[in-house]
């Protein structure tokens, strides 16, 4: 780092993305990307004629994309804000709803971006330990006097919090904002989106990176009371008004409108997840109950770190976190059936080698 780095930036604890190697062919099961291409409608929307308009700014209001999201979710466009991935929306939320006298709370084992954002903005933050079985209990947040962030399903565990429990959290303190990060909700979990109409202190964030195959398009959004959305827009227009590029606006709207393709991809992931869980458990691994497009597997015949390293040597990337409590686990993205069969075949090879 340079001698010019500010003390505030020095205090940041940057989020570490999953490996994105370019020098070797791997089966990538480490960053929770979809194994499927985007909807054919997306490819149709990204025409040469539209690409030629890139000399023009994108629509800062994201009107067409917000309308498509609102229609699919049964809400009004005023309930929607779109962003450059849900990470940007989460950053807006940390800036909008946390600060002096309003700390943030999130689990000790969850999406690492929350920790990074709290450090970036110099926020007071409480890390709430998950229970012994890695479940998140809202009891631990009921009396917290600040903004609560819950990944549901959680990452990296894949486990969920019942929507009725989140409802209790919303009702316990209507003066507190609760952000529910539903990046993985489409793979079998219950969504909090229907609660948006009733609770003005609820913000739900989602992404098109996983279930809609647009990880490279960087499209995310949030759903909430119009006043919450206005708060987020206040931050957005203070930071980057043209935050979603022209082609991603088109891609996001097209992906949101292709319900059949979306449902088909989600079903395939769920089926492949069930097959993978059974295969891993047969080989002695403990697999946490997952409603996401990944599984968290560990405490098996190979340690988490060793499994990660040996699979990488054999052309398969999974995610390993060298952290207390989860050091013996690996997070494994659910890919195509062929990819999962290859994963299990490589694990069998490692077990046979002792």
Domain with residue 221: its CATH number is 3.40.640.10
Q: 180 and 120, same structural domain?
A: yes
Side-chain-side CA neighbours of residue 51 (13 Å): 5
Q: In this predicted model, what pLDDT tens digit does every residue of 138-160 receive, in sequence order?
A: 999 999 999 999 999 999 999 99
Last residue of a domain, one of 257, 279, 297: 257
What's the pLDDT at 23?
64
Same structural domain for residues 300 and 180?
no
| CA distance linking residue 42 with residue 48, whole number of Å | 13
Do 171 and 306 lie in one domain? The reply is: no
Domain end position, chosen among 201, 224, 257: 257
Same domain, 209 and 312: no
Q: Please check whether residue 49 lies inside any domain of the structure.
A: yes
What pLDDT does 11 receive? 80
pLDDT (0 to 100) of residue 6: 83
319-320 and 316-317 beta bridge pairing: unpaired
Residues 64, 154 within the same domain = yes
Residue 203: in which H helix or E strand, if any? strand 202-207
Q: What is the pTM of this model?
A: 0.95
What pLDDT score was predicted for residue 168?
Answer: 97
pLDDT of 1: 79
* Rounded Cα distance, 185 and 291, in Å: 7
CA angle (111, 226, 151) in 5-degree steps: 15
Residue numbers of the chain with a pLDDT score lower than 70: 23-24
Tokens of 93: 């939320």
DSSP letters of 48-89? HHHHGGGGSPP-TT-HHHHHHHHHHHTS-GGGEEEESHHHHH
Residues 61, 116 within the same domain: yes
Segments forming the whole domain that contains residue 297: 8-37+260-353
31: Cβ contacts below 8 Å, ≥ 6 apart:
17, 18, 19, 20, 215, 319, 333
Over the stretch 94-111, which tens digit does the pLDDT of each residue have? Answer: 999 999 999 999 999 999
Question: Tokens for 122?
Answer: 């110099």
Q: Which of 158, 114, 160 is nearest to 136 (CA)?
A: 160
Assigned domain for 315 exists: yes
Indicate the number of domains in the chain: 2
- Check residue 282 and report its DSSP letter: H
- Return the CATH number at 20: 3.90.1150.10
Q: Are residues 24 and 76 in the same domain?
A: no
Query: What was the pLDDT predicted at 12?
Result: 80
Query: Are the beta carbons of 98 and 121 closer than 8 angstroms?
Result: yes
For residues 106 and 128, give the distance between their C-alpha atoms in angstroms, rounded to a whole number.
Answer: 6
Closest alpha carbon to 148 in 182, 116, 180: 180
Q: Is residue 287 included in any domain, yes or no? A: yes
Q: How far apart are CA 349 and CA 302, in angstroms?
A: 12
Show the tokens assigned to 165. 């429990």
């Amino acid at each position: 780092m340079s001698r010019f780095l500010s003390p505030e930036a020095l205090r940041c604890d940057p989020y570490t993305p999953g490996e994105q190697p370019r020098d070797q062919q791997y089966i990538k099961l480490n960053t929770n990307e979809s194994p499927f291409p985007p909807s054919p409608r997306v490819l149709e929307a990204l025409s040469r004629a539209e690409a030629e308009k890139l000399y023009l700014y994108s629509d800062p209001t994201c009107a067409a994309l917000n309308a498509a999201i609102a229609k699919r979710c049964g809400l009004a466009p005023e309930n929607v804000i779109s962003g450059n991935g849900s990470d940007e929306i989460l950053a807006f939320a940390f800036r909008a709803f946390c600060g002096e006298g309003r700390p943030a709370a999130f689990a000790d084992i969850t999406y690492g971006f929350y920790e990074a954002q709290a450090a970036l903005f110099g926020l007071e933050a409480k890390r709430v330990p998950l229970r012994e079985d890695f479940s998140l209990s809202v009891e631990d947040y009921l009396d917290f006097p600040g903004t609560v962030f819950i990944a549901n399903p959680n990452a990296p565990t894949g486990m969920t919090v019942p929507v009725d429990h989140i409802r209790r959290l919303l009702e316990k303190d209507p003066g507190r904002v609760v952000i529910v990060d539903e990046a993985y909700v489409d793979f079998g979990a219950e969504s909090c989106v229907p609660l948006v109409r009733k609770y003005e202190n609820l913000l739900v964030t989602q992404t098109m990176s996983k279930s809609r195959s647009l990880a490279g398009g960087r499209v995310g959004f949030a759903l909430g009371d119009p006043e919450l959305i206005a708060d987020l827009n206040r931050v957005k227009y203070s930071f980057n008004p043209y935050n979603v590029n022209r082609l991603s606006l088109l891609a996001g709207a097209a992906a949101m409108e292709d319900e059949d393709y979306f449902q088909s991809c989600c079903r395939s992931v769920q089926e492949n997840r069930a097959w993978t869980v059974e295969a891993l458990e047969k080989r002695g691994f403990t697999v946490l109950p997952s409603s996401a497009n990944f599984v968290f597997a560990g405490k098996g015949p190979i340690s988490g770190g060793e499994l990660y390293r040996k699979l990488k040597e054999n052309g398969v990337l999974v995610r390993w976190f060298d952290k207390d409590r989860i050091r013996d686990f690996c997070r494994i993205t659910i890919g195509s059936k062929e990819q999962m069969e290859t994963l299990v075949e490589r694990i069998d090879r490692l077990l046979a080698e002792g």
